[in-house]
Chain A
Amino acid sequence: MALGRPIGILLAKELRTEFRTRELLVSTLVFVLIVLVLFSFTFDPTTAESRRFGPGLLWLALLFAGSLMLHPSFTREQSNDTLVALRLAPIEPVSIVAAKILANFCFLLVAELVLLPVFAALYNLRLLPVLGRLVAVLVLGTLALSIVGTVFAAISSQARMRELLLPLLLLPLLTPALVASVEATAGLFEDRPALPAVWVGVLAAFDTIFLTVTWLFGEYLLEE
């Protein structure tokens, strides 16, 4: 069965639900902003120091934001009992997961693009010369976060203590993606900016592997 059309329709539905209230997007933005400002108190944010710590701070803030904000993508369906309706639809179950991954990817990416200038201003980093490559790293890293994050949101929504459980499951598993994104971003803030090929490779491998695993096993999470 074709996956494209159902994914498109479901993605439109996810985006419509979100942009009616914008609660997820706004709270993610505010959360990352708070974390970035708080981090600036933990060390002296001069240019040299920021270059060393900046990429790590940015990605940690995004990871924390993701582990909190991806949570509603399944609990929202549960509270309205709409997941049953989605499952009854004559579509591949995996397209429900795929649409949610894409929707979360869009939310996080929009938030990041808004935050990027703020981050650069707060930490005195020059973005414009490396903007294109930085966006490429952001896309790969955010895809990693949203694939695993969405699947684990489906897992944690079926357990007790779900709000606490999602970060616990998500953060250790994302270690390789965090290391790769931070190193790739750090390479762009060096004196001679260069995109380290090996870390982009790790990110691409992470995305490919977990997209495949989700495609193979994701649908089991939706059964009743």
Chain B
Amino acid sequence: MASAAHAMETKKTGTQGLATLGVALLLAVAGYSALFVAPTEATMGLIQRIFYFHVPFGWSAFVAFFISFLCSIGYLRSRAPKWDWLAVSSAEVGVPFVTVLLITGPMWGIWWTWDARLTSTFVLWVLYVCYLLLRTLIDEPERRAVVSAVFGIFAAFDVPLVYFSIWFFRTQHPQPVIGAGGSLDPRMRDVLLLCWAATLGLLALLLRQRYRLEALRYEVECLRLESDRRGPGPQGFATVSNPGRSG
């Protein structure tokens, strides 16, 4: 029995290693093609190559937050803890992805500008940082899951409103807008899609790790609550050690 569990654990570690290797390879190929395969952009030059990571990280972050939103609804409907684990995992992986987006944007040349997309992405980032903060401030697992699911749903419905209102606000007041526009060279598009696949792979990998961590954390929390309910003192140990001593 123990050896079977051990074998399964080894197999799990094996597939995980393989997955990690695959994603690392994909990232390497994507990085290589972004730097050397894609043609250099006519006006912006080399700096435009940031685009191949800037945009895919943004798209993947939106995928992560959308997963978090769906899982929040799933949790409230079913009350299965796994939905909550996936919701927090994807929010927590999404936040660093948006951070990459916010850091690679200014590397493009302008440190900060109150551009519509930049501002709304910043609000999005703050919303999900608050979601994670809220989770740290509630101890009881089930309460935390319910309350943060409701907040996650509110935040998700807010995102389109934020983007629309800030976009409209900025187009009324003339501002420099960093927009793609125009047509994309097919080779550029292929590299972009490859990079997106790589960041999605990274997202899946991190999500899986974080999900397992959350499951373990939940187990520890339940055990701790259980032992608190049984009251202080080493009675548990006493009952186990007594038969050995008498025998």
B residues whose Cβ falls under 8 Å from a Cβ of A? 76, 123, 126-127, 130, 133-134, 137-139, 143, 146-147, 149-151, 153-155, 157-158, 161-162, 164-166, 168-169, 172
Contact = CB atoms under 8 A, between A and B. Distances in A.
Interface string A175-190: 1100110010000000
Given A175-B123, A217-B76, A160 B137 contact: yes
A147 B123 CA distance: 20
A220 B150 contact: yes
Given A202-B161, A210-B157, A221 B166 contact: no
Given A159-B147, A165-B134, A221-B150, A173 B164 contact: no
B76, B134, B157, B161: most-surrounded residue (chain A CB, <10 A) = B161
Given A155-B151, A158-B147, A180 B165 contact: yes
Given A159-B138, A217-B153, 16 more contacts: A155-B151, A158-B143, A161-B137, A165-B137, A172-B126, A172-B127, A172-B130, A176-B161, A179-B165, A183-B169, A209-B157, A210-B154, A213-B153, A213-B157, A218-B150, A221-B146
A205 B151 contact: no
A176 B138 CA distance: 28
Given A175-B123, A175-B166, A160 B161 contact: no
B219 to A, nearest CB: 23
B150 A173 contact: no
Nearest to A179: B165
28 contacts: A151-B150, A155-B134, A155-B147, A155-B151, A158-B147, A159-B138, A160-B137, A160-B138, A168-B130, A169-B130, A172-B123, A172-B127, A173-B127, A173-B158, A175-B123, A175-B165, A176-B161, A176-B162, A176-B165, A176-B166, A179-B165, A180-B165, A183-B169, A183-B172, A202-B161, A217-B76, A218-B150, A221-B150
Contacts of B168: 198, 202
Contacts of A165: 133-134, 137
Contacts of B150: 151, 155, 217-218, 220-221
B98 to A, nearest CB: 13
Contacts of B123: 172, 175
A175 B164 CA distance: 11
Interface string A187-218: 00000000000100010011001100100011
Contacts of A210: 154, 157
A223 interface: yes
A44 B147 CA distance: 44
B150 to A, nearest CB: 5
SS class, residues of chain A in contact with chain B: helix
Contacts of B146: 220-221, 223
Contacts of A148: 154
The 10 closest A-B pairs by CB, nearest first: A176-B161, A176-B165, A159-B137, A172-B126, A179-B165, A160-B137, A159-B138, A173-B158, A172-B127, A175-B123
Contacts of B153: 213, 217
Contacts of A205: 161
Given A172-B126, A176-B164, A159 B134 contact: yes
A119 B169 CA distance: 25
A202 B168 CA distance: 10
Contacts of B157: 209-210, 213
A169 B151 contact: yes
B154 A179 contact: no
Given A159-B137, A169-B134, A151 B154 contact: yes
B25 to A, nearest CB: 38
B176 to A, nearest CB: 19
A202 B165 contact: yes
A55 to B, nearest CB: 13
A217 B161 CA distance: 19
B130 to A, nearest CB: 5
A221 B157 CA distance: 18
Residue from the set B127, B154, B155 with the largest chain A CB neighbour count within 10 Å: B154
Nearest to B123: A175
B147 A168 contact: no
A202 B155 CA distance: 17
A175 B76 contact: no
A62 B154 CA distance: 21
